Structure 1
Amino acid sequence: MGPLEIVFRRSLESAQHDGLNESVVSDVAFEVGDYLANQVEPQNEQERVLADMWKVADESEQHAIANMMVKLVQKH
């Protein structure tokens, strides 16, 4: 698990622990994803690809990426 995934996972777990509904969790994931893609240097190739995808995606696609990351974190 890379540093970006750790930050994302902790943010998501905190939002869920606070009892936030799916819509709010999705919005938190979007905000965290945007911050990570634009402010944090990727530490490996996977993080670099994810950051590059985020940067070329429009807002709707970024929300889709964020929602997929939520699902990924929830399954692990």
Structure 2
Amino acid sequence: MDSSNSQEKVEQQLQQMDEEKKEDILASFDSFKSYLAKQVKKGEELGLSEESLAKAAEKVGNYLAAHEEPRNREEHLLKEMWKTADKNQQHQLAHILINMVK
């Protein structure tokens, strides 16, 4: 599976997710980490590389930074880090988040 196709699927999923599900995921940092861990596991089962997973995590990070208000201290910190990081640093942060939930 190529990374552009997987990135398109990530974007579609984010746009189709209903508000109640988003609220459940973002209600606490633990629920966010749990959701991310499940998505990483699904990606690995589909054969996505670490790099493809990081690119998908970047899409999620960009979406959250642009469209969602942080609901807890950890999300506030992540949003501030994301906003102040350049593209390369955001990519590294995506790798770090993936490693954190594995």
Coordinate RMSD, CA, aligned: 1.7
- 42, 51, 60: which one pairs with 2:88? 60
Distance (Å, rounded) in 2 between the aligned partners of 1:42 and 1:14: 25
Residue 13 of structure 1: aligned partner: 41
User: Which residue identity lines up with residue 99 of structure 2 in the other structure?
Assistant: K
Runs of 5+ in structure 2 lacking a partner?
A: 1-27
TM-score (norm 1): 0.80
Q: How many residues align?
A: 74
TM-score (norm 2): 0.62
Deviation at 1:61, TM superposition (A): 0.6
Q: Is the 8 A contact 1:37 1:51 kept in 2?
A: yes
Runs of 5+ in structure 1 lacking a partner?
A: none
User: Which residue identity lines up with residue 70 of structure 1 in the other structure?
Assistant: I
- Deviating 4+ runs (over 6 angstroms): none
> Considering only CA atoms, is the larger Rg found in Structure 1 or Structure 2?
2
Q: Is the 8 A contact 2:34 2:101 kept in 1?
A: no
